[in-house]
Structure 1
Amino acid sequence: MSDLQRAWAKNRLAALPPESFDERDEDEADQVSELPEHPDDDSSSASSASSTGTVIPSPSQNLFARPQGAPRGRSLQQIPWTTYFQRELFLHDPSSPTSPTYHAYLTSPVGKGPLFIMHHGAGSSGLSFALVGDEIRKRLPSAGVLSLDARGHGSTTTPPDDRTIGLSLEVLTADLLSAILLTQKEMKWLELPPIILVGHSLGGAVVTELANTGKLGNSLLGYVVLDVVEGSAVDALKSMNTYLSTRPTGFTTLEEGIDWHLKSRTIRNSLSARTSVPSLLQLSGVPGDPRPWKWRTDLGATEPFWENWFTGLSKKFLGARGGKLLLLAGTDRLDTELTIGQMQGKYALQVFPEAGHFIHEDLPEKIAISLVDFHKRNDRTALVLPPKVSDLLKQGKKV
Structure 2
Amino acid sequence: MSALQKQWAKSHLRDLPSSFDENEEDEAPEDTRQPNQLRNDSSSSASSTGTVVPTAEQNLFERPTTRRPESQYEPLPWQNFFEEELLLDIGNGTHVHAYFTPPSTADAPLFCFHHGAGASGLSFALLATALRTSLPEAGFLSPDCRGHGQTATTNQELDLCLETLATDLASVIVGVQQRSLWPKLPPIVLLGHSLGGAVVTELAFRRLLGSAVLGYGVLDVVEGSAIDALQSMEQYLSTRPRSFLSVISAITWHVRSRTLRNSSSARVSVPPLLKQETNDNEKLTWRTDLSATKPFWENWFTGLSSKFLSVPGAGKLLILAGTDRLDKELMIGQMQGKYQLQVFPEAGHFVHEDQPEKTAMVVADFFRRNDRSTLVLPPKVDDLIKQGKLKSAHASK
- TM-score bracket for this pair, using the shorter chain length: 0.7 to 0.9
Aligned residue in 1 for 2:16: none
Give yes or no for the alignment of 1:101 onto 2:89: no
Alignment check: 8 A CA contact 1:100 1:156 kept: yes
| Partner Cα distance (2:210, 2:365) in 1 | 22
Alignment check: 8 A CA contact 2:116 2:196 kept: yes
Give yes or no for the alignment of 1:89 onto 2:86: yes
Amino acid at match of 1:171: T
Give yes or no for the alignment of 1:259 onto 2:252: yes
Shift of 1:73: 8.3
| Alignment match of 1:211 (pick from 182, 195, 204) | 204
Alignment check: 8 A CA contact 1:43 1:268 kept: no
Alignment check: 8 A CA contact 2:108 2:139 kept: yes
| Alignment match of 1:268 (pick from 257, 261, 268) | 261
Q: Deviations over 1:214-251 (max 9, x none)?
A: 12112110000000000000000000000000000010
Question: Is the partner of 2:249 in helix, strand or coil?
Answer: helix
Question: Is the partner of 2:270 in helix, strand or coil?
Answer: helix
Q: Classify 1:285/1:362 alpha carbon distance in 2 versus 1 (closer, same or farther; 3 Å).
A: same
Shift of 1:65: 10
Aligned residue in 2 for 1:313: 304
Aligned residue in 2 for 1:152: 147
Aligned residue in 2 for 1:42: 30
Aligned residue in 2 for 1:362: 354
Shift of 1:185: 1.0
Alignment check: 8 A CA contact 2:347 2:354 kept: yes
Q: Deviations over 1:275-334 (max 9, x none)?
A: 0000000101314x65x1000000000000000000000000000121000000000000
| Partner Cα distance (2:266, 2:104) in 1 | 29
Aligned residue in 1 for 2:74: 77
Shift of 1:386: 1.1
**What does 1:176-215 align with in structure 2 at a 5 Å threshold?**
176-215=169-208
Alignment check: 8 A CA contact 2:29 2:256 kept: no
Alignment check: 8 A CA contact 1:115 1:196 kept: yes
| Partner Cα distance (2:260, 2:229) in 1 | 18
Q: Classify 1:283/1:240 alpha carbon distance in 2 versus 1 (closer, same or farther; 3 Å).
A: same
Question: Is the partner of 1:179 in helix, strand or coil?
Answer: helix
Aligned residue in 2 for 1:126: 121
Question: Is the partner of 2:152 in helix, strand or coil?
Answer: coil
Amino acid at match of 1:129: F
| Partner Cα distance (1:335, 1:148) in 2 | 29
Give yes or no for the alignment of 1:139 onto 2:127: no
Shift of 1:187: 1.3
Alignment check: 8 A CA contact 1:76 1:259 kept: yes
Aligned residue in 1 for 2:394: none
Structure 2's unaligned 5+ residue stretches are 1-27, 34-55, 60-66, 392-397
Q: Deviations over 1:8-44 (max 9, x none)?
A: xxxxxxxxxxxxxxxxxxxxxxxxxxxxxxxx95289
| Partner Cα distance (2:170, 2:111) in 1 | 14
Alignment check: 8 A CA contact 2:265 2:353 kept: yes
| Partner Cα distance (1:219, 1:239) in 2 | 38
Aligned residue in 2 for 1:10: none
- The total of aligned residue pairs comes to 333
| Alignment match of 2:287 (pick from 260, 276, 296) | 296
Q: Classify 1:283/1:374 alpha carbon distance in 2 versus 1 (closer, same or farther; 3 Å).
A: same
Shift of 1:398: 2.7
Give yes or no for the alignment of 1:331 onto 2:323: yes
Alignment check: 8 A CA contact 1:44 1:268 kept: no
Give yes or no for the alignment of 1:392 onto 2:351: no
Give yes or no for the alignment of 1:380 onto 2:359: no
Q: Classify 1:220/1:43 alpha carbon distance in 2 versus 1 (closer, same or farther; 3 Å).
A: farther
Q: Classify 1:139/1:206 alpha carbon distance in 2 versus 1 (closer, same or farther; 3 Å).
A: same
Amino acid at match of 2:104: V
Alignment check: 8 A CA contact 2:122 2:269 kept: yes
Aligned residue in 1 for 2:167: 174
Q: Classify 1:43/1:79 alpha carbon distance in 2 versus 1 (closer, same or farther; 3 Å).
A: farther
> What is the TM-score when the length of structure 2 is the normalising length?
0.81
Amino acid at match of 1:387: P
Amino acid at match of 2:381: V
| Partner Cα distance (2:57, 2:204) in 1 | 59
Question: Is the partner of 1:294 in helix, strand or coil?
Answer: strand
Amino acid at match of 2:160: L
Structure 1's unaligned 5+ residue stretches are 1-39, 46-63
Question: Is the partner of 1:101 in helix, strand or coil?
Answer: strand
Query: RMSD of aligned C-alpha atoms?
Result: 2.1
Alignment check: 8 A CA contact 1:250 1:295 kept: yes
| Partner Cα distance (1:42, 1:230) in 2 | 34
| Partner Cα distance (1:186, 1:168) in 2 | 27
Question: Is the partner of 2:153 in helix, strand or coil?
Answer: coil
Q: Deviations over 1:193-221 (max 9, x none)?
A: 00000000000000000000112112110
| Partner Cα distance (2:274, 2:174) in 1 | 28
Alignment check: 8 A CA contact 1:43 1:262 kept: no
Aligned residue in 2 for 1:283: 276
